[in-house]
Structure 1
């Protein structure tokens, strides 16, 4: 028996290229399996929510069938609320119904994105959080409330103990007055962003219902939390009026989601991780 002879140019990928990207192909195959199982289209977004991600997100939306549901595996520590609303508008324009799946956490701007979804699918251990705009301070993120409070505390303590100025000056070296004013403005705009996100839903609440829902969400998501790390689990999220669906952890669809999530986690792609990824069956971008 002789080996079959392949025609020149018949290889889709060279062996080395395929080996270098094998993990990516395996993840994309899981995405295709999920899509075949559910009939929905699935994309993955694991990143901080800032303007740089908008173009990459658009790459994932190319070629989607607008007559089908779009499911989004989302994990993020937060970011810019204005960008979150733009992202949710972009995704809602590409589907009949938007389902956001939270296998870990979607904080701040991520929670804002969830407000614009038609369904938020959470596990018992999934977590949303306060809608507190975030800013890049040095190499990390800081909530607007935290920035304003830190500066106010520093001013108060320096007024009481002038010799402590060098200490607080060093601690807040990455915070500028412009950033403080931007943080104050962002806090003021948070309620309007919640309203805008709710309007993104496939069937948004009418003006009266939306106004009632905004006020209902204001206290647990804006006013009460003093710490950006405050948690909003599925039971609380449902109680305050969000369209939560608790995932069946034994279902085949969740098993695929968890297989995907653990692969991203192993790569260092998780909410506070060093790597970000945008992935679908046709596109894959990692940094």
Structure 2
């Protein structure tokens, strides 16, 4: 009865095992927003990982906390010979930061990175730091011109307090440093000068020039920025296994993110609904 009730879980783990046998890597799956309280779930997939094997992460995430992303990628890099992040759909914001710390980034036809725009949990969803600060600045400007509009904007922003605004400003100010820290997580030979040069090259596209959290950074654009992005052979057995897995997670209600969260590997499996079930 237990096996029947969890047949979908066993089928996914069987696909993960097939992927591991085919590639000689250790594949884990993370589909979730990135925050510090998720670290333990990721560690459950890593605590017995063989550090003499490559680690592949199937990642889908709208973003979250950049500091948590750095912690996650550092932890993964300590458990492998090299880290590959596979992006079948999108890995935005903090998830893009996590990708910057990988040795290889494999982006499918729908794969999409995004600006490093810190996210905050707000009203059961995520709010971008840029949008939060922009909303406050816009409200202040309008009230300055038309003081009688103060009640309107006070009502619209009633649940935004100054601590949240300051946290958003602080997170934005640290974005460039986080990009630099993520790049330094990579294995292989890279000098301080090379890291700094790449971080400076990424500052505009990933931080300064982006107007929206939803801005798209495609595989080709990411390659042009100097990132180690690869596109898969879509007819290969490896990609067929990845896509077979991804469709199973999608039909579980794992995407768009913010619904069911997944932390899964060949031996560990944690599926969490928004209600914590």
TM range (shorter): over 0.9
Shift of 1:181: 0.5
Moved more, 20-29 or 267-276: 267-276
Partner in structure 2 of residue 4 of structure 1: none
Structure 1 CA distance, aligned partners of 2:244 and 2:109? 17
Shift of 1:249: 1.1
Q: How well do the aligned residues superpose, as a CA RMSD in angstroms?
A: 1.1
Matched, 1:89 2:74: yes
2:191 paired residue among 192, 195, 206: 206
- Does the 8 Å CA contact 2:83/2:102 hold for their aligned counterparts? yes
Partner in structure 2 of residue 228 of structure 1: 213
Moved more, 164-173 or 56-65: 164-173
Structure 2 CA distance, aligned partners of 1:210 and 1:86? 18
TM-score (structure 2 length as normaliser): 0.96
Moved more, 270-279 or 158-167: 158-167
Runs of 4+ in 1 over 3 A off after TM superposition: none
- Helix, strand or coil: the match of 1:120? strand
- Does the 8 Å CA contact 1:137/1:174 hold for their aligned counterparts? no
- Bigger-Rg structure (1/2): 1
1:117 paired residue among 87, 97, 102: 102
- Does the 8 Å CA contact 1:46/1:271 hold for their aligned counterparts? no
Structure 1 CA distance, aligned partners of 2:159 and 2:84? 37
Structure 1 CA distance, aligned partners of 2:271 and 2:9? 10
Moved more, 41-50 or 16-25: 16-25
Shift of 1:271: 4.3
- Does the 8 Å CA contact 1:44/1:74 hold for their aligned counterparts? yes
Partner in structure 2 of residue 13 of structure 1: none
Shift of 1:236: 0.3
Unaligned runs of 5+ in 2: 273-277
TM-score (structure 1 length as normaliser): 0.92
- Helix, strand or coil: the match of 1:218? helix
- Helix, strand or coil: the match of 1:228? coil
Partner in structure 2 of residue 3 of structure 1: none
Unaligned runs of 5+ in 1: 1-15
Shift of 1:205: 2.2
Matched, 1:286 2:271: yes
Structure 2 CA distance, aligned partners of 1:166 and 1:59? 49
Partner in structure 2 of residue 101 of structure 1: 86
Structure 1 CA distance, aligned partners of 2:188 and 2:155? 50
- Helix, strand or coil: the match of 1:141? strand
Partner in structure 1 of residue 49 of structure 2: 64
